[in-house]
Structure 1
Amino acid sequence: MNGQSGVTIEDVRRVAELANLELTQEEEPRMQRDLNAILDYVAQLNELDTSDVPPMAQVGEILEGGAVHSHGETLRGDRVQPCIDRAEVMSSAPETDGRFFKVPKVIER
Structure 2
Amino acid sequence: VRCCTWGLIWPVSASFLNSPENSSKQSSYSSCPLWVVKQEFQTSVVSWDIDIAAKLIGAGAATVGVAGSGAGIGMVFGSLVIAYARNLSLRQQLFSCAILGFALSEAMGLFC
TM-score, normalised via structure 1 length: 0.30
Determine which structure has more spread, i.e. the larger CA radius of gyration: 2
The structure showing larger relative contact order (alpha-carbon pairs under 8 Å, at least 6 residues apart) is 2
Higher strand share: 1
Higher helix share: 2
